Amino acid sequence: MSAPAPAAPGGTLPAGPPEAVVAWVNEAGAGTLAGRMGVTFQEATAQRVVATMPVRGNTQLQRILHGGASAAFAESLGSLGAALHAGEGRIAVGVDLNATHHRPVRAGTVTGVATALHLGATTASYEIVVSDEAGRRVCTARITCAIHGGRGTRGARGRG
């Protein structure tokens, strides 16, 4: 196992092997919304991001997973993928998010998988599928991120 990548200034994602990036994101993200929601990243590349989130603490009054929690979870995954795609000196910001909620979840952990749909020079789009512990689809989301900064450079294009 590789040592975690060094912390980058200003929240910039570090370069390094995928497992080092995941370790850094989980540590650096502790004080973020994703951290407060209990999100743990398992895999993180520009092409695919995988994470888990507990249902407990992320419910609405009816004690089922809150739709806003699913949407924030999905945005966290897609935004991380877009940031990895953007590369050094550039940032990715969400400009569109939609989510369809398919079934309630009352307990356990959900898993989100963000898969790149488009990795361009100025935008990146992802489909995020959130599933329960039985593998049933709970939510399907799509996010588009605008990529800003570093004019004249193209980030890691996500190909390789």
Catalytic residues: 75
Residues contacting residue 114 through CB under 8 Å, at least 6 positions apart: 48, 49, 50, 74, 77, 78, 80, 81, 126, 127, 128, 143
Q: Read off the DSSP letter of residue 59.
A: B
Those residues whose C-beta lies under 8 Å from the C-beta of residue 16, and which sit 6 or more positions away, are 2, 5, 24
Q: Furthest-apart CA pair in the chain: how many Å?
A: 50
